[in-house]
């Protein structure tokens, strides 16, 4: 099994290595290097007590200011869900009869959550402030997970670097349904890498993933990751304990998600609502994701084709048979968009000077370019004596996300979770670079001493 894991690690490295040549605006890296060097040298000297609290406060203040300053267009799905929340606030469930919620009923989680908050303070600002709290906690969780994988000093540098990554700051104001599930996912990963396997932690993991699934149906990827991770480390002496632990997670998770679905299905929300759309949304994700012309991104052409026919399977199979030769290039383009681009769907309406807005976009892209280079270095498999089983869990999740998004619909926004995992891995690459620099420095010093003799 260890040999298979090592081979899989090298395959994963190659999968991401191939993306680097396609990074946009490579020279924009020069903008970000001075800032990253500042982070490094500052943290080499700074002594900050109660660092998680410090990190949360700074992250929250930055995010709060950003939500007040940035004017972001609330559009598409998020506009629909906000309008639904406002309708539910006055007792109307008419939105349930519309195309969107008959097609995507699993989006009700965010609607119910937003309705509760708007009931307390009827202003969109409260939603953005709560998002700022969640994303600030995400920064803290990246630090807490990183310190289980790398040195304390390195974990601090990485978490502080994520604090200034611009794309999550932008997403605070979009009212996306990603923040709470992302935070809960990180808590699950933290439990997996830092706590012992027992029934209490298994129940907690299942509950957190079921709650995350209530807001966004991505928890199944984490479930798959836990299954693969468990299989990778099954041994004669631990197989029974690990199987029981995994079994508790699976049974509890699926019981909770099914229970939640049934409660919502039999709630007043579904009274007098007839679902006349017998559409397989899972197939839609694949049909859209395999569109070569639009790089697997949501588009109206596919919407009209898919939702105006009763032959969805035939439609998907026809696309596969017709375009399968284009898939290798399509897959590459999709992964490049997902992992290396973030300026793709920014909708900032501030009347800024074009040069300021352009500089922010260059900085954002340059920042991501540097992160991706460090990330790929982090994926280099370690020697046997340096191996850390906890890192394998993160790599498994990265591989699953990479593989799944080859085939289904994508958006640069979907990279939100992916970039969190990327930052968690960064510390490994940073420590590798620092180690090589120290070795080079030591070697040069020895040569200098020998010459002086």
Q: Taken in order 37, 41, 43, 44, is the CA torsion positive or negative?
A: positive
Cα 385 to the center of its chain, rounded Å: 30
Specify which residues 327 forms β-bridges with.
none
Residues paired with 297 in a beta bridge = 410
pLDDT at 409 over 70: yes
From the list 246, 241, 218, the residue with the least C-alpha distance to 230 is: 246
Per-residue model confidence (pLDDT) at position 404: 95
- The answer to whether residue 440 scores a pLDDT higher than 90 is no
Is 314 buried (19+), middle (13-18) or exposed (0-12) by CB count in 10 A? exposed
pLDDT, averaged across the chain = 87
pLDDT tier for residue 135 given thresholds of 50, 70 and 90: very high
Say what the pLDDT of residue 423 is. 94
Instruction: Give residue 401's pLDDT.
Output: 96
In our burial notation (b when 16+ CB lie closer than 10 A, e otherwise), range 404-435 reads: bbbbbbbbbbbbbbebbbbbbbbbbbbbbeee
| Segment holding 388, helix H or strand E | none
Q: What token pair was written down for 453?
A: 């003799």
Which residue did the predictor score with more confidence, 118 or 389? Answer: 118
Q: So what's the pLDDT on residue 453?
A: 63
For residue 277, the model assigns a pLDDT of: 45
Using alpha carbons only, how large is the chain's radius of gyration in Å?
A: 23
**pLDDT for residue 384 is more than 70:** no
Phi, psi of 410 (to 5 degrees): -125, 165
Q: Look at residue 28 and tell me whether its pLDDT is greater than 80.
A: no
Q: In this predicted model, what pLDDT tens digit does every residue of 296-314 receive, in sequence order?
A: 999 999 999 998 888 889 9
Q: Which residue has the higher pLDDT, 18 or 27?
A: 18
Mean of the pLDDT values across residues 162-181?
88
Its pTM stands at 0.92
- 161: helix, coil or strand? helix
Q: How far apart are CA 11 and CA 134, in angstroms?
A: 34
**Greater confidence, 168 or 398?**
398
Question: Per residue in 342-366, pLDDT tens?
Answer: 665 667 777 766 677 777 778 888 8
Quote the CA–CA distance of 306 and 316 in Å, as a whole number. 9
Distance CA 335, CA 439 (A): 35
Q: Is the pLDDT of residue 96 over 80?
A: yes
For position 47, what pLDDT does the model report?
77
CB 402 within 8 A of CB 335: yes
Would you state the pLDDT for residue 276?
Answer: 45
pLDDT of 220 above 50:
yes
* DSSP per-residue letters across 192-257: HHHS---HHHHHHHHHHHHHHHHH-TTHHHHHHHHHHHHHHT--TTTHHHHHHHHHHHHHHHHHHH
List helix spans (H) across 46-105: 51-69, 76-89, 99-103
Does the pLDDT at position 154 exceed 70? yes
Q: What percentage of residues in the chain have a pLDDT greater than 90?
A: 51
pLDDT over 70 percentage in the chain: 92
What does the pLDDT read at residue 272?
62
């Amino acid at each position: 099994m260890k040999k298979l894991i090592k081979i899989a690690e090298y395959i994963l490295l190659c999968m991401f290595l191939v993306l680097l040549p396609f990074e946009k605006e490579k020279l924009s890296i020069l903008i970000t290097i001075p800032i990253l060097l500042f982070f490094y040298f500052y943290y080499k000297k700074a002594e900050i007590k109660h660092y998680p609290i410090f990190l949360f406060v700074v992250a929250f203040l930055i995010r709060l200011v950003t939500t007040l300053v940035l004017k972001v267009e609330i559009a598409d799905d998020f506009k629909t869900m906000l309008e639904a929340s406002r309708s539910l606030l006055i007792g109307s469930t008419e939105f349930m009869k519309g195309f969107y919620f008959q097609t995507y009923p699993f989006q009700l989680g965010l609607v119910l959550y937003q309705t509760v908050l708007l009931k307390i303070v009827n202003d969109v600002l409260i939603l953005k402030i709560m998002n700022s709290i969640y994303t600030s906690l995400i920064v803290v969780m990246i630090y807490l997970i990183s310190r289980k994988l790398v040195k304390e000093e390195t974990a601090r540098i990485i978490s502080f670097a994520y604090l200034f990554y611009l794309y999550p700051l932008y997403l605070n104001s979009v009212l996306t349904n990603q923040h709470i599930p992302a935070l809960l996912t990180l808590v699950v990963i933290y439990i997996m890498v830092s706590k012992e396997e027992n029934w209490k932690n298994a129940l907690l993991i299942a509950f957190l993933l079921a709650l995350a699934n209530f807001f966004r149906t991505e928890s199944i990827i984490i479930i798959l990751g836990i299954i693969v991770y468990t299989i990778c480390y099954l041994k004669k002496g631990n197989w029974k304990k690990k199987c029981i632990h995994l079994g508790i997670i699976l049974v509890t998770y699926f019981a909770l998600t099914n229970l939640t679905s049934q409660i919502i299905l039999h709630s007043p929300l579904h009274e007098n609502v007839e679902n006349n759309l017998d559409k397989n949304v899972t197939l839609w994700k694949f049909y859209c994701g395999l569109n070569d012309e639009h790089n697997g991104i949501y588009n109206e052409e596919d919407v009209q084709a898919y939702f105006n026919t009763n032959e969805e399977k035939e439609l998907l199979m026809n696309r596969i048979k017709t375009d399968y030769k284009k898939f290798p290039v399509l897959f590459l383009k999709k992964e490049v968009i997902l992992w290396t681009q973030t300026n793709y769907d920014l909708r900032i309406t501030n009347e800024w000077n074009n040069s300021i807005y352009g500089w922010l976009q260059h900085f954002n892209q340059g920042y991501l370019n540097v992160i991706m280079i460090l990330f790929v270095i982090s994926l280099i498999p370690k020697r046997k004596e340096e191996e850390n089983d906890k890192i394998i869990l993160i790599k498994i999740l990265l591989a699953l996300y990479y593989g799944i998004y080859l085939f289904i619909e994508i958006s640069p926004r979907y990279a939100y979770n992916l970039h969190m995992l990327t930052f968690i891995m960064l510390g490994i690459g940073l420590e590798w670079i620092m180690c090589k620099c120290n070795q080079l420095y030591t070697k040069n010093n020895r040569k200098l001493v020998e010459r002086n003799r």
